[in-house]
Amino acid sequence: MKRMKKSDDIKIKVAKITIVGLIAAAIIYQSPTWYEAWEERPIVEFSFGDKETFPKSVLQQDGSNYFIDIVMRNRGENDAQVLLLVNSTGAKISNNENGPWEYQQSLLFTIRPEPENKFSQIYVQPEKETFVVQLQADTGSNSHYFQETYNFIPTMVTYKKLGNNYELIDQR
């Protein structure tokens, strides 16, 4: 009986491992569960606006409070869970008109799949002539495995008091 060289033995082992890996990958990717989960994933977009209609050039008011709109949309087919982190400099912010008022807020949203934009307000109490509000997002703890979250400019707005109004002077 002829003995194989050690290098041939290693090549056979590598070939066997490669074949097993390819079979496993084919099974996983052909599985309707993984494919459907990928195809039906939530695709979330968020921003302070689309740079044309939002954000407004003058800080909006509802009678007693100033507010800024957050624009969100889920282009996917499953509910999305997003944790929005809102920071400010020169103004306190809140997710409702009665407070609590802080310089940083974490807001958990469940966004249903719809082609139209959804709006939510961040209430603002300016403390200085010029203030900045910045928006970031993270996936929630119970979010879909394949969820995609995108931010679109602007995610930072700067307002300055000019006369009786706070006017938008910068957006990024």
d(CA 50, CA 2): 74
pTM here is 0.76
**pLDDT tens for residues 105-128?**
988 888 999 888 888 899 999 999
pLDDT at 53 over 80: no
Bridge-based pairing state of the strands 165-171 and 156-162: antiparallel
- Torsion sign across C-alpha atoms 109, 168, 90, 61: negative
Q: Where are the alpha helices (DSSP H) in the chain?
A: 6-30, 32-39
- Spelled out in words, what is the top-level CATH class assigned to the domain 42-171? mainly beta
d(CA 43, CA 79): 9
**Angle between helical axes of 32-39 and 6-30 (0-180°, round to 10):** 60
Work out the pLDDT band at 67, boundaries 50, 70, 90. very high
Task: List the domain boundaries for the chain.
Answer: 6-30, 42-171
Average pLDDT, the chain: 86
Work out the pLDDT band at 135, boundaries 50, 70, 90. very high
